[in-house]
Amino acid sequence: MGRKLRVGLRGDAMRLLRGGVVLCLPVLLGGCQLVLFDSKGTIGIDERNLILLSVGLMLLVVVPAIFMALFFAWHYRASNDKATYAPNWDYSGKIEAVIWGVPLLIITILGVVCWQSTHALDPARPIVAKAKPIHIEVVSLDWKWLFIYPAQNVASVNEVAFPVGVPVRFDITSDSVMNSFFIPQLGSQIYAMGGMDAKLYLIANAAGSYYGESANFSGSGFSGMSFKALALSDAAFNAWVANARRPSAELGTTAYAELAKPSENTPVRYYSAVDPHLFGSIIAKYMKSGMEPMAQGVANAR
């Protein structure tokens, strides 16, 4: 009997320990950087607020439902003689009104908010600002990112820079399998696909170095397919462009063919001159030869 009691206590202790670990997980994970909620751009802030609003509205149903489930289980336990026993009760207009009315109201509010935000946060919608947008062309490769600046006639690999407070117009395509271009602290992610030119407008409200990544698995080198997004003052951005022009490296057809070969954890590099037709030719080759380059990209990813 004593042995069974000890075993039972030991089992209860293990269950309590497991429950304690689960409850402590939020605390243990408190050091994780929730970059989506540390937005540094207008688009990112609007999207963060939309997430918080949506979660808050849904919690208006979830929290009371959880509370009532626990309260009813405790209040109507077999040992509680004070709980009202009403076996013939089957309907309450007030309860029905709350059960159906509150969710319907929340769904209506969410529907209106999502409809408005879908149009307001359209990735291809230009951002209204006093400053003229800067134009950057983006090409996803295996397993790196190429950034081309048509106006400045420079290019960079795995590093992109732009002035603070200036809208950035990204034209995004892929010369490999489908990827997803994403700077979490600035806002929307958008897919990069061969033969397509996806538009994305972002803006940084504060200077800093932000993490950028591919948010779509694309093969063995996916884990290293990240980049730095530098939001700089006007003077610092001009200095960055000047630094990109120092190497005597031109990004033409031959240099690009070498760059496009699969490589992992590619270091940052710059090109002082770029073929002005390079971005258009990357898109055009998919239009001319169908999906053969995409098939080759899939083979490389494998």
- 10 Å CB burial of residue 45 (0-12, 13-18, 19+) is middle
Q: What local confidence, expressed as pLDDT, does residue 8 receive? A: 46
Amino acid at 91: Y
Task: Determine the 3-state secondary structure of 100 from DSSP.
Answer: helix
Q: Cα separations (Å) of 108 from 86, 95, 115, 155, 217?
A: 35, 20, 11, 47, 35
The kind and range of the H/E element at 182 are: strand 179-182
Task: Determine the 3-state secondary structure of 120 from DSSP.
Answer: helix
- Picking from 175, 169, 170, 143, the residue whose alpha carbon sits closest to that of residue 158 is 143
Domain with CATH 2.60.40.420 in the chain: 134-301
Q: What local confidence, expressed as pLDDT, does residue 11 receive? A: 55
In this prediction the pTM is 0.77
Q: What local confidence, expressed as pLDDT, does residue 35 receive? A: 76
Tokens linked to 256: 């690009």
List per-block mean pLDDT (blocks of 10 residues) for the chain, which spans 302 residues: 46 54 50 72 90 88 91 88 81 87 89 89 91 96 96 97 96 94 93 94 95 90 93 96 92 94 94 95 80 48 46
Supply the CATH classification number for the domain 134-301: 2.60.40.420
How far apart CA 124 and CA 133 sit, in angstroms, is 13
User: What ranges in the chain are assigned the alpha helix state H?
Assistant: 2-28, 42-75, 93-120, 234-244, 253-259, 278-288, 292-301
Q: What local confidence, expressed as pLDDT, does residue 7 receive? A: 42
How far from the centroid of its chain's Cα atoms is residue 67's Cα?
32
Would you say 210 and 40 are in contact if contact means Cβ atoms under 8 Å apart?
yes
